[in-house]
């Protein structure tokens, strides 16, 4: 009997070893992933690697502890924060997977993501029951193929905010920015190759995803008079060039004026629509060390996003904010005097007034006693005007805004004055503005102080308690009453002895 049990156990272990390569060793060194292979969301999970190991597909831990993103990233770049180039996205939001979730390559639907309870969170949109295998390529493209090696699904066809060399965007293809650097929800900016062949960058209204009219950047590769001259594709080729290919095979390069890189064998490259609305090409040396190991910019569009004005929306920064370019040519957002960030953790967000200006009657107090002006040079919010005066001098401009309760800011340039209302939009600081901004700020905080509890009310409550106690005594026996009355008198004498200095203080104050 013992021999039979031992033999059965040995056979069972042998069968488990035979099955082990199917689940644990599901990827070969050529980047191929077999049907049935799976990954579990945890901090120790090994991703599916491309043959060179440059790219990885797997779970990336989100900023929220215990939540993961199904994503693709550069795996050989050192550092704890990986540069993501793609992530699962659906209905305007990233697909967040709790710890313990599993993504599996299935024969029917391709990739399927389920939470620990087995509920489906996301899947690749494959309807045919013929998945043969998948490949994590050295281009950064994760591709699912049929048993006949036909392409069924690939991450390159569903970009998020980044393009990689060899990736192509067809007509009506899009990239969208993140909400912020660490928030992967859809942001306020969109890149699209329109059906007329024009590549544009546009601001987007959240949460409706309405694309505002009037892009803030355009390649102007649309030609109604000559259809063959219109754009057909946006291409990022192996040599590191990003361009719009026209129908007549001519190119419009986005790197106009920039030095193109040598082949991608020497550099990691990407083109990303960043959360600040700038579309830029970056490179990272593969064989470098020290300070050289960082992402550097090849080119960026537009050249100065702070000066790009839209009819709607807040601009590159939030409402009531000021945009200026830093030494890297990227926007920096600051609040004007008298304002502070609405969300202290979002430095690119909107600003609020520290003390709200009001049109209520302040008892005849002169405006000069209530408000003052802070002056900013070469600063403007060009889309917030509601009145203009000309000719006007600088003093007239300030005085007009001071006595107008609707006026939050006045702009003076040459002999003209513009009055601005809240919220201020598309703010910028730039030498080309050539004017002064007068920011109206309150001299004092008009909020009345909170009223403390009145001491007399506290005394009245204590006295009421004593009266109630005395009334209860009337309903008891004579002996008990005498004892309680004695205790009561001692208590009263003790309380008023302690309160006597307070009473004298009150009487003394009343006599004064």
Q: For residue 345, what is the domain's CATH number?
A: 3.50.4.10
> Strand 142-146 vs strand 151-154: parallel, antiparallel, or unpaired?
antiparallel
Which pTM does this prediction carry?
A: 0.79
Q: Which of 303, 338, 353 is the C-terminal boundary of a domain?
A: 303
Q: Which of 102, 125, 158 is the C-terminal boundary of a domain?
A: 158
Q: Looking at residue 214, what is its pLDDT?
A: 87
Whether the CA torsion 186, 190, 191, 194 is positive or negative: it is positive
Write b or e for each residue in 97-119: b if 16 or more Cβ atoms lie within 10 A of its Cβ, otherwise e.
bebebbbbbbeebbbbbbbeeee
Q: Looking at residue 26, what is its pLDDT?
A: 53
Statement to judge: residues 363 and 292 lie in one domain: no
Statement to judge: residues 153 and 52 lie in one domain: yes
Q: Looking at residue 18, what is its pLDDT?
A: 38
Statement to judge: residues 246 and 143 lie in one domain: no
Q: How far is CA 313 from CA 147, 309, 374, 443, in A?
A: 49, 9, 25, 31
Statement to judge: residues 144 and 183 lie in one domain: no
Q: Looking at residue 447, what is its pLDDT?
A: 52
Beta strands in 167-230 (DSSP E): 168-169, 174-178, 186-193, 199-205, 210-211, 217-218
Report yes or no on 396 lying in a domain.
yes
Q: Looking at residue 476, what is its pLDDT?
A: 42
Token pair recorded at residue 139: 């281009």
**Phi, psi dihedrals of residue 484, rounded to the nearest 5°:** -70, -35
- Distance between start and end Cα atoms, the chain: 109
CB atoms within 10 A of CB 135: 22
Give the distance, in angstroms, between the CA of residue 47 and the centroid of all CA atoms in the same chain: 27
DSSP H or E segment with residue 11: helix 2-23
Statement to judge: residues 116 and 170 lie in one domain: no
Q: Looking at residue 8, what is its pLDDT?
A: 45
| DSSP label of 292 | G
Report yes or no on 99 lying in a domain.
yes
DSSP of 377-425, one letter per residue?
A: ESEE-TT-EEEEESS--HHHHHHHHHT-TT-SEEEEETTEEEEE-SSP-
Cross-strand pairs, 38:
104
Statement to judge: residues 167 and 283 lie in one domain: yes
Statement to judge: residues 168 and 285 lie in one domain: yes
Domain span at 468: 460-511
Q: Looking at residue 182, what is its pLDDT?
A: 87
Mean pLDDT (10-residue bins), the chain, 512 residues = 45 39 51 96 91 96 84 90 93 91 95 97 86 96 95 96 97 95 92 96 90 92 93 94 96 79 78 96 84 85 87 89 92 96 94 88 79 96 93 96 95 96 94 93 66 49 44 40 44 44 38 38
Residues 243/52, Cβ–Cβ less than 8 Å? no
Q: Which residues contact 352 (CB under 8 A, 6 or more apart)?
A: 320, 339, 340, 341, 342
Report yes or no on 151 lying in a domain.
yes
SS (H, E, C) 128-159: CCCEEEEEECCCCCEEEEECCCCEEEEHHHCC
Coil vs helix vs strand at 227: helix
Map tokens 């006949």 to a residue: 148
Statement to judge: residues 280 and 212 lie in one domain: yes
Statement to judge: residues 184 and 275 lie in one domain: yes
Cross-strand pairs, 93:
90
Statement to judge: residues 149 and 60 lie in one domain: yes
Q: Looking at residue 51, what is its pLDDT?
A: 96
Q: Looking at residue 28, what is its pLDDT?
A: 55
Report yes or no on 437 lying in a domain.
yes
DSSP H or E segment with residue 369: helix 367-370
* 164-210 confidence digits (pLDDT tens): 999 999 999 999 999 998 889 999 999 999 999 999 999 999 888 89
Statement to judge: residues 293 and 396 lie in one domain: no
Q: Looking at residue 1, what is its pLDDT?
A: 45
325 sits in the region (left: phi over 0; alpha: psi -120 to 50; else beta) called beta
Q: How far is CA 56 from CA 60, 146, 430, 462, in A?
A: 10, 22, 42, 74
Statement to judge: residues 240 and 252 lie in one domain: yes
Report yes or no on 11 lying in a domain.
no
**Phi, psi dihedrals of residue 31, rounded to the nearest 5°:** 80, 5
Report yes or no on 4 lying in a domain.
no
Give the whole-angstrom CA distance, residue 247 versus residue 29: 40
Number of domains in the chain: 4
* 204-257 confidence digits (pLDDT tens): 998 888 999 889 999 999 999 999 999 999 999 998 899 999 999 999 999 876
Report yes or no on 2 lying in a domain.
no
Q: Which residues contact 94 (CB under 8 A, 6 or more apart)?
A: 62, 69, 87, 88, 184, 185
Give the whole-angstrom CA distance, residue 137 versus residue 239: 18
Q: Looking at residue 511, what is its pLDDT?
A: 40
Report yes or no on 391 lying in a domain.
yes
The CB-based long-range contact list for 247-252 (8 Å cut-off, 24+ gap) reads: 247/197, 252/219, 252/221
> Which CATH number is 213's domain given?
2.90.10.10
What's the angle, vertex CA 254, arms to CA 249 and CA 258, rounded to 5?
120
Q: How far is CA 291 from CA 54, 263, 269, 296, 328, in A?
A: 21, 22, 18, 11, 16
Torsion of CA 331, 336, 342, 345, to 10 degrees: 50
Q: Which of 384, 413, 442 is the C-terminal boundary of a domain?
A: 442
């Amino acid at each position: 009997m013992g021999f039979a049990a031992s033999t059965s156990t040995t056979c069972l272990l042998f069968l488990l070893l035979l099955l082990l390569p199917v689940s644990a060793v599901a990827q070969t060194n050529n980047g191929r992933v077999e049907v049935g292979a799976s990954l579990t969301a945890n901090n120790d999970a090994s991703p599916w690697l491309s043959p060179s190991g440059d790219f990885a597909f797997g779970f990336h831990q989100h900023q929220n502890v215990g939540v993961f993103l199904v994503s693709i990233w550069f795996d050989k770049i050192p550092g704890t924060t990986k540069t993501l180039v793609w992530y699962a996205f659906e209905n305007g939001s990233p697909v967040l997977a709790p710890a313990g979730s599993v993504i599996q390559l299935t024969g029917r639907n391709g990739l399927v993501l389920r939470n620990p309870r087995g509920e489906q969170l996301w899947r690749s949109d494959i309807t045919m029951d013929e998945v043969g295998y998948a490949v994590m390529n050295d281009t950064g493209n994760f591709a699912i193929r049929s048993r006949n090696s036909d392409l069924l699904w690939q991450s390159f066809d569903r970009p998020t905010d980044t393009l990689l060399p060899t990736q192509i965007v067809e007509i009506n293809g899009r990239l969208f920015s993140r909400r912020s650097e660490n928030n992967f929800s859809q942001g306020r900016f969109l890149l699209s190759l329109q059906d007329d062949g024009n590549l544009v960058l546009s601001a987007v209204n959240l949460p409706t995803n309405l694309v505002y009219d009037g892009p803030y950047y355009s390649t102007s590769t649309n030609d109604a008079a000559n259809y063959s001259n219109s754009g057909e594709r946006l291409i990022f080729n192996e040599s590191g060039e990003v361009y719009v290919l026209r129908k007549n095979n001519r190119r419009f390069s986005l790197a106009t004026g920039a030095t193109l890189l040598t082949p991608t064998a020497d550099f990691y490259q990407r083109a990303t629509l960043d959360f600040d609305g700038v579309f830029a090409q970056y490179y990272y040396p593969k064989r470098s060390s020290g300070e050289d190991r960082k992402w550097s910019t090849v080119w960026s569009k537009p050249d100065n996003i702070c000066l790009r004005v839209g009819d709607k929306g807040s601009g590159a920064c939030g409402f009531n904010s000021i945009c200026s370019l830093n030494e890297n040519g990227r926007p920096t957002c600051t609040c004007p005097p008298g304002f502070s960030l609405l969300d202290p953790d979002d430095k690119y967000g909107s600003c609020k007034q520290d003390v709200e200006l009001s049109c209520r009657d302040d008892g005849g107090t002169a405006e000069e006693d209530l408000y003052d002006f802070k002056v900013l040079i070469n600063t403007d919010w060009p889309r917030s005007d509601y009145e203009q005066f000309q000719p006007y001098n600088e003093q007239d401009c300030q005085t007009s805004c001071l006595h107008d309760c609707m006026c939050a800011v006045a702009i003076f340039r040459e002999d003209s004055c513009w009055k601005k209302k809240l919220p201020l939009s598309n703010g910028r600081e730039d030498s080309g503005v050539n004017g002064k901004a007068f920011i109206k700020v309150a001299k004092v905080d008009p909020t009345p102080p909170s009223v403390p509890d009145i001491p007399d009310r506290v005394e009245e409550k204590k006295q009421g308690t004593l009266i109630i106690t005395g009334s209860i005594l009337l309903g008891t026996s004579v002996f008990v009453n005498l004892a309680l009355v004695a205790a009561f008198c001692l208590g009263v004498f003790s309380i008023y002895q302690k309160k006597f200095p307070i009473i004298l203080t009150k009487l003394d104050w009343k006599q004064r």
